[in-house]
């Protein structure tokens, strides 16, 4: 089947002190990267190949489809982007994405907020793995938690101000953490490559969750903190793309492709604080975003998209 036709089909399926402490874990620019080593971007992914999906809740896709009965507290959807991609390319999928996962949960057991502990995600990868996608980084140093919990609390106290941005500016040590996320992702790619030297590895970025400047009822941040949250995710995606460059992995730019579909958009692909639809969890993707990522991955794997 023609590539474009397949992509069209896959897209059719479908308190202040506490805040200050939390903000000591936030933003920075990434340090310069060295020249990337050789990766394996030219490996053809064929029907029957093994595919392992590593990731957090933006990969697990809670509520975007039927719940995977084997996912326990990880709350994976059977219609998230790994499952959509695996169905489209007839791959043998092992999806170990898990809500709340950080890069550290790749090599250490994770204890989700409900259910029992789950094994390190890396254990799903072996020498026969042909494709690995990695969607991680947003939970490291509690970055997302700061933005959607601590900053929301601060916004209730100062809705016309910029309490999160102001407090972050007072915490210069926070400037290291985006760079640390980049380095952790480099370690993740290296660990995957050690176990599956011939695998094709793709890092998946995050979508435009927040608008650039103007909020809405579904995003109860202070007025001045809307651009702060927007810039935080730009920095996060810079860390992900930088890790891809440094390791020779491929990168999927979900940010650019999801422009105009943030929480406050007329057609949001990310649910807000009180989702009006049953197929999205607060501050997490709707099915449309998962469809988008599956389509973008299909383009990369079939050579229709440029590599970062």
> What is the reported pLDDT for 40?
79
Of the two residues 7 and 294, the one the predictor is more confident about is 294
Nearest-angstrom CA–CA distance, 138 and 235:
11
Domains of the chain: residue spans and CATH: 3-32+48-301 (3.40.50.1110)
Helix ranges (H only) for 61-162 are 81-89, 143-145, 151-157
Per-residue pLDDT, averaged over 25-43, amounts to 59
pLDDT confidence bin for 254, thresholds 50/70/90: very high
Q: In the structure encoding, which two tokens stand for residue 216, read together?
A: 């809405």
Q: What is the pLDDT of residues 66-115, one digit of tens each?
A: 999 999 999 999 999 999 999 999 999 999 999 999 999 999 999 998 88
Is the pLDDT reported for residue 22 higher than 80? no
Nearest-angstrom CA–CA distance, 109 and 123:
10
Is the pLDDT reported for residue 258 higher than 90? yes
Nearest-angstrom CA–CA distance, 200 and 131:
5
Q: Coil, strand, or helix at residue 55? A: strand
pTM over the 0.85 mark: yes
CA distances from 64 to 61, 165, 291 (A): 6, 32, 10
Q: What is the pLDDT of residues 153-201, one digit of tens each?
A: 999 999 999 999 998 888 767 668 999 999 999 999 999 999 999 999 9
Q: Coil, strand, or helix at residue 95? A: strand
Of the two residues 120 and 10, the one the predictor is more confident about is 120
């Amino acid at each position: 089947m023609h590539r474009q036709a397949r992509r069209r089909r896959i897209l059719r399926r479908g308190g202040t002190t506490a805040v200050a402490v939390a903000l000591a874990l936030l933003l920075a620019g990434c340090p310069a990267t060295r020249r990337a080593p050789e990766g394996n971007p030219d490996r053809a992914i064929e029907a029957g190949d093994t595919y392992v999906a590593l990731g957090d809740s933006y990969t697990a896709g809670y509520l975007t489809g039927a719940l995977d009965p084997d996912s326990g507290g990880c709350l994976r959807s059977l219609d998230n982007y790994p499952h959509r991609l695996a169905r489209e390319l007839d791959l043998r999928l092992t999806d170990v994405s898990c809500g709340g996962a950080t890069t550290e949960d790749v090599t250490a057991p994770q204890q989700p907020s409900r259910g029992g502990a789950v094994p390190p995600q890396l254990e799903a990868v072996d020498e026969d793995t042909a494709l690995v996608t990695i969607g991680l980084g947003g939970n490291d140093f509690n970055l997302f938690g700061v933005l959607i919990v601590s900053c929301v609390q601060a916004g209730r106290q100062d809705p016309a101000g910029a309490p999160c941005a102001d407090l972050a500016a007072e915490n210069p040590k926070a400037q290291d953490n985006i760079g640390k996320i980049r380095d952790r992702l480099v370690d993740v790619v290296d660990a995957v490559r050690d176990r599956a030297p011939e695998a094709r590895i793709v890092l998946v970025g995050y979508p435009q969750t927040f608008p650039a400047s103007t909020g809405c009822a579904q995003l109860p941040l202070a007025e001045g903190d809307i651009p702060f949250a927007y810039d935080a995710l730009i920095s996060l995606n810079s860390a992900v793309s930088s890790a891809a460059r440094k390791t020779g992995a491929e990168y999927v730019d979900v940010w650019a492709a999801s422009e105009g579909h943030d929480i406050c958009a007329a057609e949001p692909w990310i649910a807000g604080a009180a989702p009006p639809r049953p197929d999205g969890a607060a501050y997490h993707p709707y099915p449309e975003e998962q469809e988008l990522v599956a389509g973008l991955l299909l383009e990369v794997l079939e050579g229709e998209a440029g590599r970062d």
